[in-house]
Amino acid sequence: MIAAAAHAFIFGKKVAGVHDHATGQDLLIAAETRGDRLLGFDGDRSAKFSGTLSELYDAGDDSFVSLEIDGLTAKGYDRRSLSHYTLTATDEVVQLYDHTKGAWFAFSIQVA
């Protein structure tokens, strides 16, 4: 969800799918921005997510995630997992570092 949301905000493009390199799975995640508002859907969890920069709501987990963007990088805090994260984005890939796990995760982004 975070990779799709950050990519949609950073590049202003509609995200049509996400590939998780750690699990090798294609995730059914879509996201798009309308003005300063994000609308998204996680088809694997049948859950909506939405919000504005600095605060996103994940209806599937009933939790909030902060998201602050600075150019092609972002940072935030996932209140459900109690974890800080940082990420960098390109047109095709979002690399996310989970500070609690001490690990990088890569996500290829498919745009519509």
**Predicted pLDDT at 35:** 87
**What topology does CATH give the domain 2-111?**
Lipocalin (2.40.128)
Q: Cα separation of 33 and 19, whole Å?
A: 20
The list of the chain residues with pLDDT below 50 reads: none
**Predicted pLDDT at 74:** 98
**Predicted pLDDT at 31:** 98
Structural contact between residues 27 and 15, judged by C-beta atoms closer than 8 angstroms:
no
**Predicted pLDDT at 16:** 98
Q: Cα separation of 45 and 43, whole Å?
A: 5
Model confidence, pTM: 0.95
Each domain of the chain, given as residue ranges in start order, spans: 2-111
**Predicted pLDDT at 75:** 98
